[in-house]
Amino acid sequence: MPGAALVTAPSIPTAPVTPAILDRLRAIVGDKGLILDEQDKRPFVTDWRGELAGQAAAVVRPANTAEVSAVIKLCYDSGIAVVPQGGNTGLMGGATPWPAHRGIVLSLGRMNRVLNVDPVGYAMTVEAGCILQTLQETAARHDRFFPLSLGAQGSCMIGGNLSTNAGGVQVLRYGNARNLVLGLEVVLASGEVWDGLRALKKDNTGYDLKHLFMGAEGTLGIITKAVLKLWPAPKDVCTAWLAIRDPRAAIELLSEAHAASDDNVGSCELMSRACTDMVLRHIPGTQDPLKAETEWYLLLEWSSARPRQDGAGMSDRMEQFLADQLEAGRVLDAVIAQTEAQSRNMWRIRESVAEASRAEGPGLSYDVSVAISGIPEFIDRGLKAVLDILPTIRPYPLGHIGDGNLHFSFMGPKGMDRDTLTQYSAAITRVVNDLITSMAGSISAEHGIGIEKLDELQHYRSRTELDIMRTIKRALDPKNIMNPGKVLRLE
Amino acid sequence: MPGAALVTAPSIPTAPVTPAILDRLRAIVGDKGLILDEQDKRPFVTDWRGELAGQAAAVVRPANTAEVSAVIKLCYDSGIAVVPQGGNTGLMGGATPWPAHRGIVLSLGRMNRVLNVDPVGYAMTVEAGCILQTLQETAARHDRFFPLSLGAQGSCMIGGNLSTNAGGVQVLRYGNARNLVLGLEVVLASGEVWDGLRALKKDNTGYDLKHLFMGAEGTLGIITKAVLKLWPAPKDVCTAWLAIRDPRAAIELLSEAHAASDDNVGSCELMSRACTDMVLRHIPGTQDPLKAETEWYLLLEWSSARPRQDGAGMSDRMEQFLADQLEAGRVLDAVIAQTEAQSRNMWRIRESVAEASRAEGPGLSYDVSVAISGIPEFIDRGLKAVLDILPTIRPYPLGHIGDGNLHFSFMGPKGMDRDTLTQYSAAITRVVNDLITSMAGSISAEHGIGIEKLDELQHYRSRTELDIMRTIKRALDPKNIMNPGKVLRLE
Mean pLDDT of B353-368: 95
Whether residue A291 sits in one domain with residue A419: yes
For residue B423, give how far its alpha carbon lies from the nearest alpha carbon of chain A (Å): 25
Give the pLDDT of residue B1. 41
Question: What's chain B's average pLDDT?
Answer: 95
Residue B92 lies in a domain: no
More confident residue, B319 or B262: B319
- pLDDT tens digit string along B205-225? 999 999 999 999 999 999 999
Contact A212 B212 (CB under 8 A): yes
Contact A472 B472 (CB under 8 A): yes
Contact A198 B446 (CB under 8 A): no
What is the total count of domains within chain A? 2
Contact A468 B405 (CB under 8 A): no
Whether residue B164 sits in one domain with residue B257: no
- pLDDT tens digit string along B19-38? 999 999 999 999 999 999 99
Give the pLDDT of residue A314. 96
Contact B457 A205 (CB under 8 A): yes
Whether residue B320 sits in one domain with residue B264: yes
- Select from B439, B465, B483 the last residue of a domain: B439
Cα separations in angstroms, A158 against A47, A125, A222: 18, 11, 12
Written in H, E and C, the secondary structure of A422-481 is HHHHHHHHHHHHHHHHHCCCECCCCCCCCCCCHHHHHHHCCHHHHHHHHHHHHHHCCCCC
For residue B187, give how far its alpha carbon lies from the nearest alpha carbon of chain A (Å): 11
Give the pLDDT of residue B291. 85
Give the pLDDT of residue A42. 97
- pLDDT tens digit string along B126-161? 999 999 999 999 999 999 999 999 999 999 999 999
Q: State pTM to two decimals.
A: 0.95
Contact B464 A263 (CB under 8 A): no
Residue A428 lies in a domain: yes
Burial A236-247 (b: 16+ CB within 10 A, else e): bbbbbbbbbbeb
- pLDDT tens digit string along A115-143? 999 998 899 999 999 999 999 999 999 99
Whether residue B361 sits in one domain with residue B215: no
Give the closest of A176, A204, A400 to B165, CB-based: A204
Contact B202 A171 (CB under 8 A): yes
Whether residue A291 sits in one domain with residue A181: no
- At residue B15, does pLDDT exceed 60? yes
Whether residue A269 sits in one domain with residue A210: no
Each of the 491 residues of chain A gets a pLDDT tens digit; together they read 444 556 888 989 999 999 999 999 999 999 999 999 999 999 999 999 888 999 999 999 999 999 999 999 999 999 999 999 999 999 999 999 999 999 999 999 999 999 999 998 899 999 999 999 999 999 999 999 999 999 999 999 999 999 999 999 999 999 999 999 999 999 999 999 999 999 999 999 999 999 999 999 999 999 999 999 999 999 999 999 999 999 999 999 999 999 899 889 999 999 999 999 999 999 999 999 998 899 999 999 999 998 998 888 999 999 999 999 999 999 999 999 999 999 999 999 999 999 999 999 999 999 999 999 999 999 999 999 999 999 999 999 999 999 999 999 999 999 999 999 999 999 999 999 999 999 999 999 999 999 999 999 999 999 999 999 999 999 999 999 999 999 999 98
Residue A370 lies in a domain: yes
Whether residue B175 sits in one domain with residue B248: no
Expressed as residue numbers, the domain containing A163 is 114-232
Contact A464 B193 (CB under 8 A): yes
Give the closest of B204, B405, B447 to A215, CB-based: B204
Whether residue B299 sits in one domain with residue B225: no
- Select from B439, B464, B482 the last residue of a domain: B439
Residue B318 lies in a domain: yes
Mutate to test the interface with B, among A468, A482, A483, A488 (most CBs of B within 10 A): A468
CATH code (residue B222):
3.30.465.10
- pLDDT tens digit string along B405-443? 999 999 999 999 999 999 999 999 999 999 999 999 999
Whether residue A264 sits in one domain with residue A227: no
Give the pLDDT of residue A167. 95
For residues B450 and B487, the answer to whether their CB atoms sit within 8 Å is: yes
For residue B236, give how far its alpha carbon lies from the nearest alpha carbon of chain A (Å): 13
Give the closest of B447, B460, B468 to A209, CB-based: B468
Give the pLDDT of residue B25. 98
- At residue B3, does pLDDT exceed 70? no
CATH code (residue A290):
3.30.70.2190
Give the closest of B164, B194, B464 to A194, CB-based: B464
| ipTM field | 0.94
Residue B196 lies in a domain: yes
Give the pLDDT of residue B120. 87
Residue B247 lies in a domain: yes
For residue A350, give how far its alpha carbon lies from the nearest alpha carbon of chain B (Å): 19
- pLDDT tens digit string along A254-285? 999 998 998 899 999 999 999 999 999 999 99
- pLDDT tens digit string along B63-88? 999 999 999 999 999 999 999 999 99
- Select from A439, A466, A484 the last residue of a domain: A439
Whether residue B185 sits in one domain with residue B121: yes
Neighbour order of strands in the sheet with B193-196: B114-118, B123-127, B221-229, B181-188, B193-196
Give the pLDDT of residue B5. 52
Residues of B in contact with A90 (CB under 8 A): none
Contact B471 A469 (CB under 8 A): no
For residue B293, give how far its alpha carbon lies from the nearest alpha carbon of chain A (Å): 31
Whether residue B421 sits in one domain with residue B281: yes
Whether residue B205 sits in one domain with residue B172: yes
Give the pLDDT of residue A6. 67
Residue B220 lies in a domain: yes
Cα–Cα dist B462/B297, whole Å: 37
Q: Between vectors from CA B74 to CA B69 and to CA B77, what angle results, nearest 5°? A: 120
Residue B333 lies in a domain: yes
Other CB atoms within 10 Å distance of the CB of residue A287: 11
Give the pLDDT of residue A3. 45
